[in-house]
Amino acid sequence: MELLLICLSLWILQCNSAGADSIIHIGAIFEENAGRDDEIFQLAISDLSLNDDILQSEKITHSVKSIEANNPFQAVQEACELMNQGILALVTSTGCASASALQSLTDAMHIPHLFIQRNGQGTPRTACHLNPSPDGESYTLAARPPVRLNDVMLTLVTELRWQKFIIFYDADYDIRGLQTFLDQASRQGLDVSLQRVDRNVSRVFTNLFSTMRTEELNRYRDTLRRAVLLMSPRGAQVFIHQAVETNLASKDSHWVYANEEVSDTEIMELVHSSLGRMTVIRQIFPLWRDTNIRCMRNNHRISSLLCDPQEGYLQSLEVSSLYLYDSVLMLANAFYSKLEDRKWHSMASLNCMRKSTKPWNGGWSMLDTIQKRRITGLTGMMDFRAGGSNSHVQFEILGTSYSETFGKDVKRLATWDSTRGLNGSLKESRIENGMQGVTVKVVTLLEDPFVMVAENILGQPKRYKGFSIDVLDSLAKILGFKYEIYQVADGKYGSPTSNGSWNGMIGDLISKRADLAVSAITVTPERESVVDFSKRYLDYSVGILMRKSEEKINIFSLLAPFDLAVWACIAAAIPVVGVMIFILRRVQSVRSQNPPGGHQATSVSTSLQSAIWIVYGAFVQQGGDSILGSVALRIVMGSWWLFTLIVCSSYTANLAAYLTVSRMDNAVRTFQDLSKQMDLAYGTVRDSAVYEYFRAKGTNALEQDSTFAELWRTINKNNGHEHSVSSPSEGIRKAKRDSFAFLWDMAVVEYAALTDDDCTLTVTGNSMSSKGYGLALQHGSPYRDLFSQKILELQEKGDLDILKQKWWPRKGRCDLDSHSEAQPEGRALRLHSFAGVFCILAAGLLLACLVAALETWWSSNRCRREQPKEVTEKAAPTQGPDPLRPLPRPRPRPRPPGPPVLPRDATATLYFMDPGTDTSPDLVELQYTQL
């Protein structure tokens, strides 16, 4: 790590020497005992130099001066030298004495001065009383917020209802910083004692035993039961150890340790050294859980050493070092604003020793720009709009909890900030025998099937039912408490508003209007920072609710594998090839009349109908009349057979694929499927936990998959008003009514699909995260551990699984699993898939019957029309024979002569008359050769 910082410093020096002509020059003054401040300042400059989004092509040059601690004269000398070099702003991290001297100088020279107050040897700091500017224009801005420990301690002792306590403070602590606290405590009637603790702590307790009698020591021991320690972490640890060793600390004592800068390790050492209850007050900064947001602030990428808590470097820094980094970031943003507005004032060299030196004419404009800026850095929000100082500060109150089940532990009891004050409960309460006789006020929100209104008798109080209510009833039965339940006024679960407050059920818990929140409320990091949660009693995942796809029936689906143009070309190819075969066979029949070599070819049919029939039979792979002909006919038929083979094979493959795809009931099964399709709209509830989840995933630049980015673009279209809905019930109705996919809690949408009247809804889901549903309580609630323990017992005994089956039955009127189980049987083709084939067959049969009827009718009409008249007359004689006269004996007919004997090689032409007619005979000419 040290090698890395050395290399980084050398690189920065090279950049500074290379960019000596830069128009941006910052001066810095640090005390010699603040080595980390110099490192962080160099790291901030290097981070900004690597980023072109803020200062574009401009680079920051800097000059750093080191001074002795509490040496105002040296501080002024070094500042004058920096002004002579030409600086735009001055950043200092010193004590109050040096800061007061530098304030006078910067006010006179109109140089913006960002001041970070340092602690002395780990002792809690007190406010620096700077001199007011003579003309009212103070150029010193306090980057580190004013000391607010007095306000936090007063709120704490009031919440704990202390009436008498003692304050121990270090010898290095400025007792004047307690003046405001003592005045306010006196007005409230509190009995406060003060005692200074020397560096030799053991001598303090030795003097107590040597100067006090036994009765006085007992009274003093009773006073020590309630104490506040304003000491360094090391001094407080030694003090507590000595108090335990001398038997002055008892098991029922409660000590409060107040210091802005104390690490987790030091807190654990203090807790384990004490006998009784220990409460710790320290300053905290917002923890960004998203890596991308944590490392990217104000278009500026922060070094991974500072943005990644796992590096360990961030925990080793002092609070002043963090404010120093943010001060440089604030100046960089102010310089960017000046460059963007083209209102840059170049810095001229100032000589502090000359009486005729005029202040910098651009100082007020630069100061005004800095005061109007607001950034979010390592310490959270930073601005100087509240009287020239950064007022954004937040404290956490940690305490030891006692429980026979969980033992001694340190947990966050409450938080305190300058805007909302205390958030949490600090009252001492031990729960040993359950919650017998306790009445808990419960806030809820209707959400099927977690909380629903039960049918009740007219005039009776409103009753509730649901899965969460069953869990609450089970806990009430085990622990013995009663509850009063009411619905939240605004109908929201709880989310932070623009002014920093919370709405919904979370807001009711923070404002202490309710002790417990019960509904489909998920455990999120943001909510857990302001309230407490029990162990989760149901796992959480996000589901996709949509209407079941209706199976489209197309009786001519077997024609779908080919486009209409393909079918038209195939239909046109059949007669074309048939005509070609007809022509070639006609040519062959003409050639066969005079065959070479005197051999007659076998006769074949040469009609057009037979040719087309042969082509059609080959196309449907049913053969046809045999063709014994020329090579040209064979080439044509070979090409046609190859064509039909390819067409039929392609049709078979495409038909199988088409029928397989058409049997898929839902194309959307995952988030990836949802993001890739364009036909189905989707959304969620605006300003909900699911909405914020998709926002975080969709705007995360480090997310490799573009699925969530595409989902967020659709969900957030028109700020969520186009596709997203205002409530879960609206989303369920929209999914049932329209072509819409509703993204919401899996448990809620599953219940909606199971209880749908028409069973038209289906649910698919993706695991969103390892979250769950829990009971929300006030911050620091004494009931959290009991609820968590009993929920674990319900899970172990299987009672929660029984309740799940009650509200989410897998088998019922709307069976969500039936569709997936029916897949093997559903692979068989149904009748409507072949309806087109049966229609074609029926049409062919009807056409054949119609043609047969027409042929019969045509033949009968033709026979009657062409029958000769003389045949009719002969068939009707004018006079019959005499019945009395015998008939003459018939004369034998002569025997017809035999066939004529033709000479050898003679050719005869024979004419045959159609037997059906006796007029206009159709003659067929045949040639006969006498061999």
Per-residue pLDDT tens over the stretch 887-899: 555 555 555 555 5
**Residue 522 assigned as binding residue:** yes
Q: What is the pLDDT of residue 113?
A: 92
More confident residue, 557 or 46: 46
Mean of the pLDDT values across residues 184-197? 89
Q: Supply the pLDDT for residue 376.
A: 85
Q: What is the pLDDT of residues 116-132, one digit of tens each?
A: 988 767 888 888 887 77
Question: Where is mean pLDDT largest: 537-546, 810-819, 846-855?
Answer: 537-546
Please choose, from the candidates 168, 172, 318, the residue with its C-alpha nearest in 3D space to the C-alpha of residue 238. 168
Residues paired with 487 in a beta bridge: 444
Q: How far apart are CA 719 and CA 686, in angstroms?
A: 9
Which residue do the tokens 């995933």 mark? 697
What pLDDT score was predicted for residue 2?
Answer: 41
Of the options 3.40.50.1970, 3.40.50.720, 3.90.1150.10, 3.40.50.2300, the CATH number for the domain spanning 22-145+293-383? 3.40.50.2300
Supply the DSSP string of 338-381, one letter for each residue: HHHHT---PPPP--TT-TTPPPPTTHHHHHHHHHH-EEEETTEE
Q: What is the number of other CB atoms lying within 10 angstroms of the CB of residue 344?
A: 17
Helix and strand element counts for the chain (H, E): 32, 32
Alpha-carbon dihedral angle through residues 130, 134, 138, 143, given to the nearest 10 degrees = 0
Write down the pLDDT at residue 15.
46
| pLDDT value at residue 823 | 45
User: What is the residue type of 271?
Assistant: V
- Locate CATH 3.40.190.10 in the chain: 433-540+770-817
Of 256 and 539, the one with more pLDDT: 256
User: Is residue 782 left, alpha or beta, with left meaning phi > 0 and alpha meaning psi from -120 to 50?
Assistant: alpha
3-state secondary structure of 134: coil
- The mean-pLDDT minimum among 40-54, 465-479, 833-847 falls in 833-847
Residue 206 has pLDDT above 60, yes or no: yes
Which position has the higher pLDDT, 323 or 388? 323
Rounded CA gap, 765 and 759, in Å? 18
Taking residue 527's Cβ as centre, other Cβ atoms within 10 Å add up to 25
Residue 23, both tokens: 């128009």
Q: Would you state the pLDDT for residue 651?
A: 79
90 confidence band (pLDDT: 50, 70, 90): very high
Q: How many CB atoms lie within 10 A of CB 697?
A: 19
Q: Biggest alpha carbon distance in the chain? A: 186
Torsion of CA 814, 820, 824, 830, to 10 degrees: 60
| Range with lowest mean pLDDT among 150-159, 193-202, 355-364, 814-823 | 814-823
CB of 442 within 8 A of CB of 484?
A: yes
Half-sphere exposure of 597 (CA within 13 A, CB side): 3
At residue 665, what is the residue type?
D
pLDDT digits (tens, 9 = 90+) for 843-887: 656 776 787 678 778 877 777 776 655 455 555 554 555 544 555
Residue 663 has pLDDT above 60, yes or no: no
Q: CATH number of the domain at 433-540+770-817, out of 3.90.1150.10, 3.30.390.10, 3.30.365.10, 3.40.190.10?
A: 3.40.190.10
- Angle (nearest 5°) at CA 173 between 169 and 175: 80
CA distance 766 to 542: 6
Mean pLDDT, residues 281-308 = 72
Per-residue pLDDT at 839: 66
Q: What is the mean pLDDT of residues 370-384?
A: 86
Place of tokens 């006090």: 212
pLDDT value of residue 659: 65
Average pLDDT of the segment spanning 403-429: 71
| Rounded average pLDDT over 56-71 | 83
Tell me what pLDDT residue 336 has: 82
3-class DSSP state of 102:
helix
Q: Give the integer Cα–Cα distance in Å for 139 and 360.
A: 12
Q: Which of 75-89, 434-448, 558-572, 725-739 has the highest average model confidence (pLDDT)?
A: 75-89
What is the percentage of the chain residues whose pLDDT exceeds 90? 5
- Report whether the peptide linkage leading into residue 449 is cis, meaning its omega lies within 30 degrees of zero: yes
CA distances from residue 8 to 326, 428, 674 in whole angstroms, order as listed: 19, 51, 47
Total Cβ atoms within 10 A of residue 48:
25
Phi/psi at 538 (5° precision): -155, 135
* Cα 864-865-866 angle, rounded to 5 deg: 95
Residue 798 confidence (pLDDT): 84
At 92 the pLDDT is 93
Whole-number Å distance between alpha carbons of 775 and 787: 8
Q: List phi, psi (to 5°) of 74.
A: -65, -35
Closest CA to 326 of 376, 288, 387, 395: 376
Residue 185 makes CB contacts below 8 A (sequence gap 6+) with 154, 157, 192
The reply to whether omega before 900 is within 30° of 0 (cis) is no
Indicate the pLDDT class of residue 668, thresholds 50, 70 and 90: confident
User: Which sign, positive or negative, has the C-alpha torsion 589, 593, 594, 600?
Assistant: positive
Residue spans in the chain of domains classed CATH 3.40.50.2300: 22-145+293-383, 148-289+394-424
Whether 12 has a pLDDT exceeding 60, the answer reads: no
Q: Quote the tokens at residue 21.
A: 């002509």
Which is more confident, 346 or 824?
346
**pLDDT at res. 115:** 92
527 annotated as a binding-site residue: yes
Mean pLDDT for the stretch of residues 775-794: 84
Contact 359, 137 (CB under 8 A): no
- Burial (CB < 10 A; 0-12, 13-18, 19+), residue 628, is exposed
Residue 372's pLDDT is 87
809 DSSP 8-state letter: -
745 known member of a binding site: yes
Q: What share of the chain is helix, strand, coil (3-state, %, to 5)?
A: 45, 20, 40
Q: How far apart are the C-alpha atoms of 259 and 231, rounded to whole Å?
A: 7
User: Which residues neighbour 289 within 8 Å (Cβ) at sequence distance 6 or greater?
Assistant: 525
pLDDT for residue 300 is more than 50 = yes
The pLDDT of residue 442 is above 50: yes
Give me the count of residues in the chain: 931
* Mean pLDDT for the chain overall: 75
Instruction: Report the percent of the chain where pLDDT is more than 70.
Output: 70
Q: Return the H-helix or E-strand segment holding 856.
A: helix 835-866
Q: Exposed, middle or buried by CB within 10 Å (0-12, 13-18, 19+), for 93? A: buried
pLDDT (tens digit per residue) in 591-631: 666 555 555 544 445 566 666 666 666 666 655 555 546 66
Q: Model-level pTM?
A: 0.56
Q: For residues 502 and 669, what is the distance between their CA atoms, to the nearest angstrom?
A: 36
CB atoms within 10 A of CB 225: 17
Other beta carbons within 10 Å of 250: 14
User: Is 148-289+394-424 CATH 3.40.50.2300?
Assistant: yes
Helix (H) or strand (E) holding 277: strand 277-284
Do 548 and 762 meet the contact criterion of CB atoms below 8 Å apart? yes
Mean pLDDT for 833-847 is 62
- pLDDT tens, residue by residue, 546-583: 887 665 556 666 677 777 888 888 788 778 777 777 77
pLDDT tens profile 709-722: 888 888 888 777 78
